[in-house]
Amino acid sequence: MAAERAQQNRGPHEVGGTEPGAECLTNLEAVRLALHEAMVADDKTVILGEDVGVRGNVFLITTGFLQEFGARRVIDMPLAEASIVGIAVGMAMQGLRPIAEIQFADFIYPAFSQIVGEAAKIRYRSNGEYGCPLVIRTPYGGGVHGALSHSVSIEALFYHVPGLKIVAPTTPYDIKGLLTAAIEDPDPVLFLEHKKTYRSVKGEVPEGHFTIPIGKADVKKPGTQLTVVSYGYNLHQALDAARELETEGVSIEVIDLRSIRPMDKTTILTSVRKTRKLLIVHEDNKFGGIGAEISAMVSEEAFFELDAPIRRLCGPDVPAMGYAKPLEEAFMISTERMRIAMRDLARF
Amino acid sequence: MAKTVTARAVLDRGGLTDEQLVAMLWNMLLQRQLDNRGFQLNRQGKIPFALGSEGHEALQAGAALAFNRGSDVLVPYYRDLGLVLGVGVTPLDLLNNMFAREADLSGGRQFPNHYTARAYGVLSISSIIAAHCTHAAGVAYALTYDGKPGRAVLCSTGEGATSQGEWHESLNFAAIHKLPIVFLVQNNGWAISTPQSQQMAIVDVADKAAGYGMPGMICDGTDPVATYRTMKIAMDRARAGGGPTLVEAKCYRFLSHSTDDDDRTYRDREELAAQRADDPLPKYERVLLEAGIIDDVGLAAIKAEVLNLTNEATDQAEVLPYPSVDDMGTHVYAGPYEPWLE
């Protein structure tokens, strides 16, 4: 299975075989590798968050960093998310390159003001005098028995905000390239890591420094009859469903959004103009979610090229997924539901 | 003359020279003139909004003198006209801000008194109370990141800000890491219409310092020399690696919160009148006059000069252009603004 996953999740440049020097990593290991390389590359880079030092982060992403880089650069913060971000903002304005961690995306709400009202507006309100080169990493998403406060998706709460960038890659290759790009970016980037993929998704990552441009989606599977746009854990399920449908003779193109703000208009429109049908899949609630914006954009740009109404398969409109197994399963979109939705729309 | 000599002997000058003592008066008079100008321009319908610092002049003149230009960093709040003037921001900068001109340091984007002035070591602030305190702590962390002491952050708020979680978080972090920062709380007793008694159950904000493990100091914010002396101790301690200090400067807000507020709806006129009788500006004028450091002619000359400066800045800023709408989308990001990438 692991080898199959690795095969499925290779970056586009790796198609055709293993590159020399490429390593098979989990998503979690890809995050660690990108962070480690950034810490080595620039001694202005600091990591700050709850339990990132001695504990090495609750998922063990930064294990050993404290010993290697010291307490000045790997900072165990007091338990206060607003100031984790706010202090990182100040550091960024004064020339450091902070990577702030919010332990779980569900805990980001106390920092909302700092992210939306401060970090995203500093360049604008100072007329370019100050920038805020800041990365805020946070694990999000469900399917891990995390209940109401360890499962949420937060992207829709932030993607409305000019001045922020948001990325949510979900393969080791994309994570390595996009986290490196986020760290090197001169503006604040919210970096979302789906925790169910931390150890379940593996793939090859080439050695050495590389970046993937923020704002570029990736066609993870080409197809002709239907375009599926997704990201995060759902992306992997969508790929599985699309491959199964391939055996039924249904050809589906699967786009991994990777970046949520900015979003890749060209890749989506090129695909939709080819397949003439669009299904958007995301774990986050449907109402006001990322799918709404994609749907609006495609309606504005390619309405007359569509052969079917745009459809969205999303999380239900309840406040969060419950702890009980059936409640969580009912919230998460099953691969079976994806397959049915894809088949239905392809046949429309 | 004999009286003057006696007064000179008892003047507590806090180690300041005559020139520095007069510079503080100059700053205070300029503050009040610019404050009044903001309200005048608003009442004339020329600017939509103004915020006054009247009553805070003395402490801001004193605190600014404890700031090392070119190395320290000021993270002010929106009632800090005298502090930003004291670190080098010019009357024209402030008038450009009031008139929202293209030449304003924020390009006409920010409210009046929402400072950004990197060239003078002034951070960019928003209206969100105490949000900037966390930034100040982050800046202080960065200032000593290379292990070298010698630079400090002056972070300023009113007493209302001390209710915010982010104020607490900032002091806590600063104390844990012994950061080079002074948290100056300008306690004027009022947060718009909310008196201090509704803001906290204690009399002295400085008492909160003990909860963080840092020194708390109180000074008479109506006395520029007393404030300078206190701030100098605190800033020197920060610059020497001695860690943060909470300084509470007691003062009074003479004006409404802003031109959009009317303090007659919540503040007793007798309280205001009593405070006006203790106005720090004429009080400090008398101190310098009685000490013989300045005479009536010199005082009149300074008043004429600050009025002239204010008038010139007003005339200059008034005829400058607004920012171009074409530039509305600049500086959203370092690169082009594109929510949809083509």
CB atoms within 10 A of CB B95: 27
Cα nearest neighbour of A159 on chain B:
B339
Domain count, chain A: 2
What is the spatial distance between Cα A157 and Cα A86, in angstroms, rounded to a whole number?
18
Q: CB B109 to CB A266 under 8 A?
A: no
Has residue A213 been placed in a domain?
no
Same-domain pairing of A57 and A114 = yes
A95 in a structural domain: yes
The CA distance from B329 to the nearest CA of chain A, in Å, is: 9
For residue range A70-101, list pLDDT tens digits in order: 999 999 999 999 999 999 999 999 999 999 99
3-state SS class at A189: strand
Q: Is residue A6 part of a domain?
A: yes
Say if the Cβ atoms of A90 and B138 lie within 8 Å. Answer: yes
Quick one: pLDDT band at residue B338, thresholds 50, 70, 90? confident
Which candidate from B105, B117, B173 shows the least CB-CB separation from A83?
B173
Determine, for residues B142 and A96 on separate chains, whether the beta-carbon distance falls below 8 Å: yes
> Rounded to whole angstroms, how far apart are CA atoms A257 and A216?
7
Q: How many angstroms separate the Cα of A204 from the Cα of each of A87, A177, A238? A: 35, 12, 20
Contact B340 A297 (CB under 8 A): yes
Residues paired with A75 in a beta bridge: A48
Question: Hey, which residues of B are catalytic here?
Answer: 253, 257, 266
| CB atoms A125 and B123 under 8 Å | no
- The reported pLDDT for the residue numbered A19 is 60
Whether A249 is in a domain gets the answer yes
The answer to whether A94 contacts B131, with C-beta atoms less than 8 Å apart, is no
Count of all residues that appear for chain A in the document: 348
Phi/psi for A48 (5° steps) reads -135, 140
Task: Delineate the domains of chain B, giving CATH numbers in brackets.
Answer: 2-319 (3.40.50.970)
**pLDDT at residue A272 in the model:** 98
The answer to whether the CB atoms of A123 and B116 lie below 8 A apart is no
**Number of other CB atoms surrounding residue A286 within 10 Å:** 17
Distance (Å, whole) CA A253 – CA A274: 10
- Compare CB distances from A82 to B116, B123, B169 and report the shortest one's residue: B169
- pLDDT tens digits, residue range B201-212? 999 999 999 999
Structure tokens at A267: 């890749």
When computed from its CA atoms, the radius of gyration of chain A, rounded to whole angstroms, is 20
Q: Is A36 part of the annotated catalytic residue set? A: no
Same domain, A176 and A293: no
Could you read off the pLDDT of B238-253 as tens digits, one per residue?
Answer: 999 999 999 999 999 9
Q: How many contacts does A have with B, using Cβ atoms within 8 A?
A: 156
What pLDDT score does A5 carry?
A: 44
**Which of the following is catalytic: A13, A36, A145, A150?**
A150
In angstroms, what separates the C-alpha of B127 from chain A's closest C-alpha? 9
A7 plus A123 within the same structural domain: yes
How far away is chain A from the Cα of B23, in angstroms, using its nearest Cα?
29
Query: Does residue A8 sit in the same domain as residue A128?
Result: yes
The band of A295, judged by pLDDT with boundaries at 50, 70 and 90, is very high
CB contact under 8 A, A78 and B176: yes
For residues A193 and A65, membership in a common domain is answered with: yes
Specify the CATH number for the domain of residue A254. Answer: 3.40.50.920
Per-residue pLDDT tens digits for A148-184: 999 999 999 999 999 999 999 999 999 999 999 999 9
Which residues 291-330 on chain B approach chain A with CB closer than 8 angstroms?
Answer: 330
Which of A73, A129, A155 to probe by mutation at the B interface, max B CB count within 10 Å? A129
> Do both A129 and A241 map to the same domain?
no
- For tokens 């304003």, name the residue: B104
Cα–Cα distances in Å, from A134 out to A77, A89, B264? 16, 7, 45
CA of A144, closest CA in chain B: separation in Å? 31
Last residue of a domain, one of A205, A239, A274: A205
Residue A211 lies in a domain: no
Contacts of A273 in chain B (CB under 8 A): none
Could you count the other beta carbons within 10 Å of the beta carbon of residue B193? 14
B161 in reach of chain A (CB within 8 A): no
Cβ atoms of A28 and A83 within 8 Å: the answer is: no
Nearest residue on chain B to A97, judged by CA atoms? B142
**Which SS3 state, helix, strand or coil, does residue A18 take?**
coil
Contact (CB<8Å) A90/B135: yes
Q: Helix/strand/coil (H, E, C) string of chain B?
A: CHHHHHHHHHCCCCCCCHHHHHHHHHHHHHHHHHHHHHHHHHHCCCCCCCCCCCCCHHHHHHHHHCCCCCCCEEECCCCCHHHHHHCCCCHHHHHHHHCCCCCCCCCCCCCCCCCCEHHHCECCCCCCCCHHHHHHHHHHHHHCCCCCCCCCEEEEEECHHHHCHHHHHHHHHHHHCCCCEEEEEEECCEECCEEHHHHCCCCCHHHHHHHCCCCEEEEECCCHHHHHHHHHHHHHHHHCCCCCEEEEEECCCCCCCCCCCCHHHCCCHHHHHHHHCCCHHHHHHHHHHHCCCCCHHHHHHHHHHHHHHHHHHHHHHHCCCCCCHHHCCCCCCCCCCCCEEC
Structure tokens at B87: 């670190």
pLDDT greater than 80 at residue A21 = no
Tell me how far apart the alpha carbons of residues A26 and A171 are, in angstroms, rounded to a whole number.
8
**Structural domain ending residue among the three candidates A144, A174, A205:** A205
Q: Mean pLDDT in chain B?
A: 95
Mean pLDDT of B69-80: 97
Q: Is B135 on the interface with A (CB under 8 A)?
A: yes
What's the confidence (pLDDT) of residue A13?
32
Q: What CATH code is carried by the domain that includes residue A51? A: 3.40.50.970
Q: What is the pLDDT at residue A20?
A: 63
Q: Which residue of A has its CA nearest to B144?
A: A72
**A263 with B339: CB under 8 angstroms?**
yes
Cα gap A243→A237, rounded to integer Å: 10
Contact B109 A124 (CB under 8 A): yes
The H-assigned helical ranges of chain A are: 2-8, 27-41, 65-69, 81-93, 112, 122-125, 155-158, 172-184, 233-246, 265-275, 290-302, 325-331, 335-346
With CB atoms and an 8 Å threshold, state whether B339 touches A98: no
Pair of tokens at residue B238: 């920060």
What local confidence, expressed as pLDDT, does residue A9 receive?
A: 44
Of B11, B26, B30, B134, which Cα lies nearest the Cα of A122? B134
Distance from CA of A218 to the nearest CA of B (A): 13
Quick check: B273 contacting A, CB < 8 Å?
no
Does A223 share its domain with A283? yes
The closest alpha carbon to B18, from B305, B251, B295, belongs to B295
Q: In this structure, which amino acid lies at residue B77?
A: Y
Of A82, A88, A125, the CB nearest to B166: A82
Task: Find, among B166, B333, B163, B170, the residue nearest to A114 by Cα.
Answer: B166
* Half-sphere exposure at residue B155, Cβ-oriented, CA atoms within 13 angstroms: 33
Query: Could you say which residues from 50 to 79 on chain B have a Cβ atom under 8 Å away from some Cβ of chain A?
Result: 73
**Is A231 in the same domain as A193?**
no
CB-based contact (8 Å) between B336 and chain A? Answer: no
CA dist., res. A14 & res. A12, Å (int)? 5
Lowest average pLDDT, out of A5-9, A233-237, A253-257, B206-210, goes to A5-9
**Among the three residues A205, A234, A253, which one is the final residue of a domain in this structure?**
A205
Instruction: Give the contacts of A110 (CB within 8 A, at least 6 positions apart).
Output: A80, A81, A82, B165
How much is the average pLDDT of B21-42?
97
Q: Is residue A88 part of a domain?
A: yes
DSSP string for A193-229: EEGGGTTT-EEEE-SS-----TT--EEEE--SSEEEE
Domain match, A238 and A105 both: no
What is the residue range of A8's domain? 2-205
Q: Kindly state the average pLDDT of the residues B58-77.
A: 98
